[in-house]
Amino acid sequence: MEVLQRIALLRAEVERHSHNYYVLDASTIPDAEYDKLFRELQALETQHPEFLTPDSPTQRVGGKVLDGFAPVRHALAMLSIRTETDTTAGGAQAFDARVRKELGLNETDAPVEYACELKFDGLAINLRYEHGVLVQAATRGDGETGEDVTQNIRTIHAIPLRLQGFTADVLEVRGEAYMSRADFERYNEQQRAHGLPTLVNPRNGAAGGIRQLDPAIAAKRLLSFFAYGLGEVRGWDMPATHSAILDALAVLGLPVCAERAVVRGTTGLVDFHQQVAAKRDALSFDIDGVVYKVNDRALQAQLGFVTREPRWAVAHKYPAEEQITLVRDIDIQVGRTGKLTPVAKLEPVFVGGTTVSNATLHNEDETRRKDVRIGDTVIVRRAGDVIPEVAAVVLEKRPANIGAPFDLFQRLQGKCPVCGSAIVREEGEADWRCSGGLFCPAQRKQALLHFAGRRALDIEGLGDKLVEQLVDGGMVATLPELYELTVEKLAALERMGEKSAQNLVEALQQSKHTTLARFIYALGIRNVGEATAKDLAKHFGKLDALMAADAERLQQVPDVGPIVAQSLLAFFAEPHNCDVVRQLRAHGMYWDEQEVQAQAAAPFGGKTFVLTGTLEAMGRDEAKERLELLGAKVSGSVSKKTDFVVAGSEAGSKLDKAIALNVAVLGETEFLELLSKHESL
């Protein structure tokens, strides 16, 4: 027992001194004394392995080299926030105006209170603590699924392996892993001394360090961490404001940046933005802007989300670094979604920590507005400190024999440079796009991933890496060719065993029986999202009727306006796309069209439901799907137009709003009875 007590005492001492040094930037004992305590702890744990625990500070560096990173499904999606690209005071003013409008405030109402923070330039990380102990760390990934990087995160001394005085069931802490400027320079000096490659910038150092398969290599990056928010929380009463949450996290021993403030209204936002700009170069780490968040969590809930971005938060950028160079040519790139982007081919120039030879011109309108031409001298900058862009032309250096203004359509003669399909530009849109869609090789991978997505045909096992292999290896060029894959072909791929191959072939076969709405959405038609696909399926009932519809008939569908109608017409006007649809059906793709027609007159037709809280009997997605099969519309926010609110356990502000608006509220038992009654008809 004396040994166990000594181990406990040493762990507490080592962690306390580590927290003081790495989080508070205050060394409390000499390094030699710290090393002495650490070595004693290591020796005792070696002699008594039965007392070794995962949260011991000796376990920060260690573990075997991984073959790859395991996927982690986030309990709550790690959403991105909107970026305010207007780097002047107008950016803050625009955000405050949007918030006040959404909250229904007028000029005489009090200013909104905001929490202001720095926008760190590193890698977003989710830390999962269970009963106060760090059990998992994951990257953001695509927001829904990230990668398990627990071993590497353990090497970051600023991150506590056990929270101070915290025993709640679950606390997920979100923040940024970053590399300080001093550690970046120190690392590069060491690399140069050994003749090894150096890092380009601290952000790459952080991202590359976190994604090392060997945690010992990750430890050499000397990374740091700042907490800025929460994920899933169970068993902990969260404070009422965002700023109070950060204060509470700091008390628990998590590193929270001191460069933050609570301000009121536009004036406070502008002042914070300007104050940070003045000290930006003096900070010990890189930032590319600041972040504003509505401080009151109740108001955050009221504001909600739009397109998976919170209405209550925004990132306000700073002007990027700039250099002057020469435009040698203008190329046209076709993106994964068919977007045509003019790209300036530059005389290489060093900007923002890297050598730049290509810079985006964004679109034809922007290129013509800036009047960028081949042979021009231009100012190039790192837009958002990430993507190089041409900022402006230095007109006094323009050659006398400069060519004509840029014309994308004329340059390409109206055809996609990759597949030859017609290029189109919707009314009011800045971007030209390839209409080849499912046929265009440049869009092949994106089309396959979208087609296989959970909300489309939900083909389990068909992810990014496999799609890369299938396309790059020439095995799949179009969607129908997915259904020609065999177990033998798939099993021959790297890291694809026979069992996995068999599972994928079975998943492909199962995906053939779908719904018309899912099939329409899976085609990846521009501007046709999940909800619009369902509306189209309900309205037309049959795919052939949809494909034959003109603009007038399309716009008879709820929420389908001229832009969506034009996207549908352009898609089905391209013979390649119609061929893909025909071939998919020839490969056995089918759905019950009678079922689709029945949905139009379903029992919940015209009714709007809102789900809140946790349902014990089913997940949120299943509840939504069952309601929609009965004709209901499922909304994410409560309003006077809401017919029913389904309230599970731990229902939040949506329930409060429903009661305030006198909207009918169903408990889980009532909800299940309602479903059962109508599904049996």
166 vs 546: CA distance, rounded Å? 57
Q: Residue 79 in contact with residue 305, Cβ under 8 Å?
A: yes
211 phi and psi, to 5 degrees? -100, 25
3-state class (DSSP) for residue 94: helix
Element (H, E) at 672: helix 668-679
- Candidates 119, 317, 633, 657; catalytic one: 119
Do strands 340-351 and 322-334 pair parallel, antiparallel, or not at all (unpaired)?
antiparallel
Is 64 an annotated catalytic residue?
no
Q: What is the DSSP letter of 333?
A: E
Residues 6+ apart with CB under 8 A from 452: 458, 459, 462, 463, 467, 511
Closest CA to 384 of 286, 282, 269: 286
According to DSSP, the residues that pair with 120 across neighbouring strands are 287
Q: What residues pair up with 119 in beta bridges, in sequence order?
A: 289
Torsion of CA 619, 620, 625, 626, to 10 degrees: 70
Encode 242-273: b = buried (16+ Cβ within 10 Å), e = exposed: bbebbebbeebbbbbbebbbebebbebbbebb
- Helix, strand, coil shares of the chain, percent, nearest 5, are 40, 20, 35
**Cβ-Cβ contacts under 8 Å for 491 (sequence gap 6 or more):** 497, 498, 500, 501
- E-assigned strand segments in 473-569: none
Per-residue tokens: 573 = 């006007």
Q: Residue 363: what residue type?
A: N
Name the E strands within 22-112.
71-73, 82-84
**Residue 32 parent element (H or E):** helix 31-47
Cβ pair 256, 174 in contact under 8 A: no
Number of neighbouring beta carbons within 10 Å of residue 109: 10
Expressed in angstroms, the distance from the first to the final Cα of the chain is 68
What is the spatial distance between Cα 211 and Cα 134, in angstroms, rounded to a whole number? Answer: 19
Count of beta carbons in the 10 Å neighbourhood of residue 664: 12
Residue whose entry in the numeric block shows the structure tokens 């071939």: 583
Q: Tell me, letter by letter, the H, E, C secondary structure of 600-655.
A: HCCCCCCCEEEEECECCCCCHHHHHHHHHHCCCEEECCCCCCCCEEEECECCCHHH
Region of 187 on the Ramachandran plot (φ > 0 left; ψ -120 to 50 alpha; else beta) = alpha
- Measure the CA–CA gap between 140 and 528, rounded to whole angstroms: 26
Determine the residue type at 297.
R
Q: DSSP assignment, residue 479?
A: G
Residues assigned a catalytic role: 119
